[in-house]
Amino acid sequence: MLIVHHLNVSQSERIVWLLEELELPYELCVYERDRVTQFALPELRSVHPLGSAPVLCDGDVVMAESGAIVEYVLARYGNGRLSVPVTSPQYPDYLYWLHYANASLMAQIGLNWIAAMVAGANSDSPVLPTLRQRLDRHLQMVEDRLSRSPYFAGSEFTAADIMMHFPFGTMKAFYNVGLDKLPNVKAWLARISDRRGYQRGMKAAGHEQDPALDWGATRSAF
């Protein structure tokens, strides 16, 4: 059986959600954050050297990195679900957004978050507005994409949407990118929130409410 090592309030919820969407059996091992540092507690390093989540165990396979795990699960157990065939015209979009989520968007959000913490709330550093401008370019690109398509890879929900969800959902616990000027992103989040697999996944991951819909939507509770 697949074993998911999951850190509360983290990107490892992607893997829980993916497995719920695919209706695959799995065992969930949950880890709490250190109350002071907010990092994972040291016992997770006994599973993977970096001590971060997610980690997927599948027999002798021990794999970290949420994007890699998503591709692994889909390739071995997806049977074509939640992915796009390489021969499809939508495959480049699927592949791009699947990897953009962490390689570019989360990297920029993380940089903004850390810079804001280091600089402090009352900082007049010119770095902060420059970083915000860079992040806003990312957000506008995402918004433009969702103005042309209901999901990132086209007309159908795929794993690219699973990867893209975290920056606008649970990441708000650490850094809120803001959705006031992103109506298409809001509409996409609402579509996601209606999915039974998503609802099961977020519950299993430890959320009592939908982490993406506390911006005034009426469907904030599961």
Q: What is the pLDDT of residue 34?
A: 74
Using CB atoms within 10 A of its CB, is residue 170 exposed (0-12), middle (13-18) or buried (19+)?
buried
Cis peptide before 183 (omega within 30 of 0): no
Q: What is the pLDDT of residue 42?
A: 81
Task: Classify domain 2-77 at the CATH topology level.
Answer: Glutaredoxin (3.40.30)
Would 2-77 and 91-194 be classified into the same CATH topology? no
Query: Mean pLDDT across the stretch 128-155?
Result: 97
Domain 91-194 matching CATH 2.20.25.90: the answer reads no
> Nearest CA to 159 among 98, 96, 75?
98
> Nearest CA to 93 among 159, 167, 154?
154
Q: What is the pLDDT of residue 75?
A: 98
pLDDT digits (tens, 9 = 90+) for 189-215: 999 999 999 999 999 999 999 998 764
Cβ atoms of 166 and 190 within 8 Å: the answer is no
The four Cα atoms 138, 94, 154, 79 give a dihedral, to 10 degrees, of -150
Q: Residue 184 — pLDDT band, cuts 50, 70, 90?
A: very high
Q: What is the pLDDT of residue 27?
A: 98
Q: Residue 37 — pLDDT band, cuts 50, 70, 90?
A: low
Q: Residue 217 — pLDDT band, cuts 50, 70, 90?
A: very low
- CA–CA dist 181, 203 (Å, integer): 29
- The first and second tokens of residue 71, run together, are 């591709």
- CA–CA dist 58, 84 (Å, integer): 24
Query: Count of residues for the chain?
Result: 222
Cβ atoms of 153 and 97 within 8 Å: the answer is yes
Query: Mean pLDDT across the stretch 163-185?
Result: 95
Q: What is the mean pLDDT of the chain?
A: 92
Query: Mean pLDDT across the stretch 134-153?
Result: 98
First to last CA, the chain: 27
Q: What is the pLDDT of residue 214?
A: 61
Helix axes 183-193, 196-204, angle to 10 degrees: 80
Q: What is the pLDDT of residue 31?
A: 93
Instruction: Kindly list the domain boundaries of the chain, sorted by start residue.
Output: 2-77, 91-194
pLDDT digits (tens, 9 = 90+) for 39-59: 677 888 899 999 889 999 999
Query: Mean pLDDT across the stretch 63-90?
Result: 98
Tell me whether strands 26-31 and 2-7 are parallel, antiparallel or unpaired.
parallel
pLDDT digits (tens, 9 = 90+) for 89-106: 999 999 999 999 999 999
Residue reference for tokens 């994409």: 145
> In the chain, pLDDT over 70 holds for what percent of residues?
94
Query: Mean pLDDT across the stretch 144-155?
Result: 98
7 - beta bridge partners? 31
Task: Answer yes or no: is pLDDT of 77 > 60.
Answer: yes
Q: Residue 216 — pLDDT band, cuts 50, 70, 90?
A: very low
Q: What is the pLDDT of residue 17?
A: 98
Q: What is the pLDDT of residue 121?
A: 66
- The first and second tokens of residue 58, run together, are 């599948």
